[in-house]
Chain A
Amino acid sequence: MTRKFHQLTLLTIVVAAAGLFSACAPPTAKLTVSRNEVNSGEPVTVRWETKNAKEVTLNGEKVDKIGGKSVIPPDTTNYEVVAKRGKKEARESATVKVNSNRAAAPTVRLTADKTDIERGQNTKLRWETTNSKIVTISGVGEVSGSGEREVSPRVSTTYTATALGDGGNATSSVRVTVTDPPPPPIAERPRTVAEVQPTNRAIADQFVSVMKPVYFDLDKSDIKASEQGKLRTLADWLNRDTNRTIVFKVEGNCDPRGTAEYNLGLGDRRAQAVKDFLVSLGVDPSRIETVSYGSEKANGTEEGEAGIVGSWANDRRADFIYLRGGEKP
Chain B
Amino acid sequence: MRKVLIVVSVISMVWWGACREKSSAQQQPQQDDLRKQIGTIIVTPGAGPSLAVADFQPRASGVDAATTTFNEVLWNDLKFAGVANLVGKSLYPKTKLADPASLKYDEWLNDPVKSDYVAFGSVTGANSAQGYLYDVKTQSQLLTASLAGNAREMAHQFADQIVKLLTGQDGIAQSKIAYIANREVFMMDYDGFGARQFTRDGSIALFPSLSVDGKRLAYVSYRSGFPNVVIRGEDGLIIGSTQFKGTTTSPSVAPDGRIVFSSSKDGGSMELFVANEDGSGARRITRSRSVSISPRWNPKTGLEIAFVSDRGGSPQIYIIGADGTNERPLLSMGGQMDSPAWSPDGRFIAFTWNGGGGGFHIYLADVASGQVLRLTREGRNENPTWSPDSRHIAFQSNRTGRWEIWAMHIDGSEPRQLTRTGGRSPSWSK
Contact = CB atoms under 8 A, between A and B. Distances in A.
Interface in B88-110: 99-105
Contacts of B157: 158, 160, 171, 173
Nearest to B359: A257
Contact of B293 (A43, A102, A172, A265): A265
Contacts of B142: 168-169
B101 A190 contact: no
Contacts of A291: 225-227, 245-247
Contacts of A167: 141
Interface string B256-295: 0000001010011110000000000000000000010110
Contacts of B425: 260
A62 interface: no
Contacts of B223: 187-190
A22 interface: no
A168 B104 contact: no
Nearest to B142: A168
Contacts of A316: none
Instruction: Among B99, B233, B236, B424, find the residue whose CB has the most chain A CB atoms closer than 10 A.
Output: B236
Contacts of B153: 158, 175
A1 interface: no
Given A190-B203, A262-B338, A173 B146 contact: yes
A294 B382 CA distance: 15
A49 B328 CA distance: 80
A43 B360 CA distance: 58
Contact of B143 (A171, A258, A294): A171
B145 interface: yes
Contacts of A181: 235-237
Nearest to A160: B157
A193 B409 CA distance: 48
A190 B222 contact: yes
B250 interface: yes
A108 B339 CA distance: 45
A69 to B, nearest CB: 10
Contact of B270 (A39, A109, A184, A268): A268
A222 B165 CA distance: 58
B308 interface: yes
B200 interface: yes
Contacts of B12: none
A109 B146 contact: yes
A292 B100 contact: no
B245 to A, nearest CB: 6
Chain A interface category by residue count? 35 or more
B143 A264 contact: no
A271 to B, nearest CB: 8
B163 interface: no
Interface string A280-319: 0000000001111110100000000000000000000000
Contact of B247 (A154, A169, A190, A264): A264
B101 A43 contact: yes
A105 interface: yes
A288 to B, nearest CB: 11
A197 B338 CA distance: 40
B336 interface: yes
A174 B144 contact: no
A292 B262 CA distance: 13
B149 interface: yes
B174 interface: yes
A60 B425 CA distance: 71
B101 A269 contact: no
A70 B101 contact: yes
A102 B139 CA distance: 10
B264 A173 contact: no
B146 A172 contact: yes
B414 interface: no
A107 interface: yes
B144 A119 contact: no
A44 B207 CA distance: 56
Given A43-B100, A44-B101, A261 B250 contact: yes
B147 interface: yes
Nearest to B351: A259
A37 interface: yes
A155 interface: yes
A261 B234 contact: no
Given A259-B382, A262-B338, A268-B264, A173 B143 contact: no
Interface string B231-250: 00111111000000111011
A264 B227 CA distance: 10
A158 B174 contact: yes
Contacts of A170: 143-146
Contacts of A293: 204
A173 B141 contact: no
Contacts of A50: none
Interface string A131-149: 0000000000000000000
Interface in A54-82: 70
Nearest to A297: B204
Interface string A217-238: 0000000000000000000000
B102 A34 contact: yes
26 contacts: A35-B103, A42-B100, A42-B141, A99-B139, A108-B146, A158-B148, A158-B153, A160-B161, A169-B165, A170-B143, A170-B146, A171-B146, A171-B157, A171-B161, A173-B154, A174-B148, A175-B149, A181-B235, A187-B221, A190-B223, A261-B339, A265-B249, A265-B291, A265-B293, A289-B245, A291-B226
Interface of B: 99-105, 127, 139-149, 153-154, 157, 161, 165, 174, 199-204, 206-207, 221-227, 233-238, 245-247, 249-250, 262, 264, 267-270, 291, 293-294, 308, 315, 336, 338-339, 352, 360, 382-383, 424-425
Interface of A: 34-35, 37, 39, 42-45, 70, 99, 102, 105, 107-110, 119, 154-155, 158, 160, 162, 167-175, 181, 183-184, 186-191, 258-262, 264-269, 271-272, 289-294, 296
Closest 10 CB pairs of A and B: A268-B247, A259-B338, A187-B223, A175-B149, A172-B146, A154-B235, A292-B247, A43-B101, A173-B148, A171-B145
Given A154-B233, A184-B199, A189-B223, 13 more contacts: A39-B140, A168-B142, A169-B161, A173-B154, A190-B222, A260-B382, A262-B294, A264-B249, A265-B262, A268-B264, A269-B269, A271-B247, A292-B249
